[in-house]
């Protein structure tokens, strides 16, 4: 039996659909909540790799959208790390193409860093109002990213460092 917490605020995907791009301060606040959740998941010795981090799996605690929580662990994987030298790399394609790290798409060995890549794609979407490479179908977007392409920020209001 699986018991989950009910969060009545909906998910980040729907929120972004309704609101569009977020202010930098709101995006940072949301990003901090996601990062805290990931830090908890990635804390050794019991590392949980989410493997499907995307806006639909980030939940708003309430309708005022003041906090987020990471949810939907259906594809997650628990890895026990015995010491800091342990290698816990997996292979296999799992997750959602639009937020998938290149190494997962290419069926290469991967670890918890794939969640960090997905997190970056979510942050981009929060700031830009749409997913990276939204002009491509999800599979084609993943293929494009796997070929080494990275999204650039379109907004002129961001610091030059972010647009690179």
Enumerate the active-site residues.
Answer: 52
Q: Is the separation of the CB atoms in 160 and 148 below 8 Å?
A: no
Q: Which of 103, 10, 8 is nearest to 49 (CA)?
A: 103
CA–CA separation, 161 vs 62, rounded Å?
34
Residue 65: half-sphere exposure toward Cβ, Cα within 13 Å: 16
């Amino acid at each position: 039996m699986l018991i989950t917490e009910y969060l009545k605020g909906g998910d980040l995907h729907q929120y972004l659909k309704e609101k569009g791009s977020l202010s930098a301060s709101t995006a940072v606040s949301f990003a901090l909540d996601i990062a805290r959740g990931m830090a908890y998941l990635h804390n050794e010795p019991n590392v949980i790799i989410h493997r499907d981090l995307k806006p639909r799996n980030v939940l708003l605690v309430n309708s005022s959208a003041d906090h987020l929580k990471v949810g939907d662990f259906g594809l997650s994987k628990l890895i026990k790390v015995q010491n800091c030298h342990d290698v816990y790399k997996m292979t296999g394609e799992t997750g959602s193409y639009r937020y998938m790290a290149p190494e997962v798409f290419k069926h290469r060995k991967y670890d918890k860093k794939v969640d960090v890549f997905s997190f970056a794609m979510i942050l981009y979407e929060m700031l830009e109002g749409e997913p990276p490479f939204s002009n491509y179908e999800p599979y084609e977007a993943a293929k494009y990213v796997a070929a080494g392409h990275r999204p650039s920020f379109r907004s002129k209001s961001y610091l030059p460092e972010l647009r690179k």
